[in-house]
Structure 1
Amino acid sequence: MTTPHDATAEPAAEQREDRGPLRTAVIVNPNRVDGLDELRASITEQLTDAGWPEPAWLETTAEDPGTGQARKAVEDGAEVVFVAGGDGTVRACIDGLAGTQTALAILPGGTGNLLATNLGVPTNTIDGVQLALDRGRRVMDLGEVEGKTFAVMAGMGLDAAMVDDAPTKLKAKLGSVAYVFSALKHLRDPQMKVEVQIDDHPVLRRRARTVLVGNVGRLQGGVNLLPDAEPDNGEMDIAVLAPRNLGHWIQTAFAVLRPGKNRVPNMEVLRGSRITVTSDRPQPRQLDGDVIEPSKTLAVTVRPDSLWVCVYQPDSSEDLTEGS
């Protein structure tokens, strides 16, 4: 792929050029963010002090976790949409922003904050708003499964079961550690037999405990499972994990946690732009931590250059995919 896959699609000098104030909207998950009045006042003050207009304010609901609000913001002319909430809120809003010129500005507020972590986005509101004001932008690919988009990772098997079983209260108390307790419950789950079709290559037949399709590589707790994954190369990395016992899981975990790009035992890494994983029986599935209906199939299509994200200016971070 060509130039849009640099750290930003526009030259840094053009990004720094003052093109006037931008229209913005804030989409907030009231169940994930405390102190809504204070948050609204803080964001509004920071924007107006910079000469930008007051943002539109939209709250998610149980019926609409963010997609409709993001579409409305775009229709109303927002050029930047701030999203305050967890990974699920961010993913839902991405569904509404995909394919538009409106930039996503993440204000992390959940347990994992996976997209923010992978892009090196700050985790506090003041710095997050300043990132948008500085006009650093990056265009990235998205994955699509059954009409739903994801920016980080899709999973089938143990990974999705782990996400589904992590109690909300435990996640609130322990953060990403809650997923460890959930994973332990599924370590003895039987392997699945899968067929993996990548682009037009021959079908691969494997036994696996979980299959992950990653646009970026970092998981909960900062674990860099797919260090070569790039969010703007038109492809995604596929990890087929097949530990058969506790000893294998320990080997795999130790290799993943070691610094550097090492071969990980019991894990095969593939790459492509059209990926279909078919299991011998229905499996739990997840997109960026959102559990979707179980199925025998996980079919992912890469949508290149589909989402603009507010990031640091390219000279502020040498590798935006490594986090900060």
Structure 2
Amino acid sequence: MPNRRLLLVVNPNASRASQSLGAAVAALVADGFAVDIRQCGGRDDVRALITSEGPAAEAIVIGGGDGTVSGALSGLIEVGLPVGILPLGTANDLARTLGIPVDPVEAAAVIAGGHLRKIDVGGVNDIDFLNVASIGLAVEITDRLDPDLKRRLGPLSYAAAALSTLGSAEHFAATIACGDNRTEVSAYQITIGNGVHYGGGVKVAT
């Protein structure tokens, strides 16, 4: 009989954790999984948790948003197990890119069904990323996001934060190199995209 244990690493502060986690876990249990639920702290704590507890599981499930998955990434790469996502955050852009339903119960059904696909991992300044990496305006907008506003407005909170940031935004000079091509730009933001969705469900690639 195959190992049916899932290590579920949950961000308790994710926007929809209190509302949707219970039903998603119940769906996984109903499908025959033993779900070991652990709350995650900072990046170092998450990595240690995943590397110590992950090898005994069939797969690791991250319950949270894009930031939670990003924080867990180094541990996930080290362990090398299949990874499932329960999208409990505000934007859930990586889940959208991967075609995972944003409804956590429906996402649990994807995990239970064993639907696997590969995804590239990017790297910037020795830090791995899955969906996007940005400098400039997007980083300032993220820093200004109000947690309570995220819970109340969802993806619209990004638009509210953008409006409050635009007045103080500053452009910068950069060189973009791709193969033998180099382009000099003056920009407010540069984003390296590995995913399709970005900034709260906006489709930025095909």
Same fold by TM (over 0.5)? Answer: yes
Mapped to 2, the partners of 1:71 and 1:216 lie a distance apart of 26
CA 1:101–1:63: 2 relative to 1, 3 Å? closer
Alpha-carbon contact 2:70-2:130 (below 8 Å) kept: yes
CA 1:139–1:186: 2 relative to 1, 3 Å? same
Question: TM-score scaled to structure 2, two decimals?
Answer: 0.85
2:175 is aligned with 1:195: yes
1:26 corresponds to: 8
Mapped to 1, the partners of 2:111 and 2:158 lie a distance apart of 31
Gaps of 5+ in 1: 1-18, 228-324
Report sequence identity in percent.
Answer: 26
CA 1:139–1:73: 2 relative to 1, 3 Å? farther
Alpha-carbon contact 1:217-1:226 (below 8 Å) kept: yes
Q: Give the Å deviation of 1:81.
A: 1.0
Mapped to 2, the partners of 1:42 and 1:185 lie a distance apart of 35
Letter in 2 for 1:137: L
2:116 is aligned with 1:137: yes
2:89 corresponds to: 110
Match of 1:73 among 53, 68, 78: 53
Mapped to 1, the partners of 2:164 and 2:27 lie a distance apart of 45
2:31 is aligned with 1:50: yes
Mapped to 1, the partners of 2:116 and 2:184 lie a distance apart of 40
2:98 corresponds to: 119
SS in 1 for 2:166: coil
1:89 corresponds to: 68
Letter in 2 for 1:195: T
Letter in 2 for 1:67: R
Letter in 1 for 2:147: T
Q: Give the Å deviation of 1:47.
A: 4.2
Mapped to 2, the partners of 1:159 and 1:134 lie a distance apart of 35
Alpha-carbon contact 1:195-1:204 (below 8 Å) kept: yes
**How many pairs align?**
203
Letter in 2 for 1:60: C
Match of 2:133 among 134, 139, 154: 154
Choose 1 or 2 for highest CA Rg.
1
CA 1:146–1:177: 2 relative to 1, 3 Å? same
Compare the two structures and name the one with the higher helix fraction. Answer: 2
Q: Give the Å deviation of 1:166.
A: 1.6
Q: Give the Å deviation of 1:46.
A: 4.0
Letter in 2 for 1:148: I
Alpha-carbon contact 1:28-1:59 (below 8 Å) kept: yes
Mapped to 1, the partners of 2:30 and 2:205 lie a distance apart of 41
2:161 is aligned with 1:177: no
Mapped to 2, the partners of 1:125 and 1:222 lie a distance apart of 16
Mapped to 2, the partners of 1:204 and 1:42 lie a distance apart of 46
RMSD, matched Cα:
2.5
Mapped to 2, the partners of 1:27 and 1:173 lie a distance apart of 24
Question: TM-score scaled to structure 1, two decimals?
Answer: 0.56
Mapped to 2, the partners of 1:184 and 1:196 lie a distance apart of 27
Letter in 2 for 1:22: R
Letter in 2 for 1:57: I
Structural mapping, 1:1-324, within 5 Å: 20-32=2-14, 33-34=17-18, 39=22, 43=25, 45-52=26-33, 54-62=34-42, 64=44, 66-74=46-54, 76-98=55-77, 100-188=79-167, 189-199=169-179, 201-227=180-206
SS in 1 for 2:135: strand
Residues 210-261 of structure 1: per-residue CA shift (max 9 Å, x gap): 100000121234211222xxxxxxxxxxxxxxxxxxxxxxxxxxxxxxxxxx
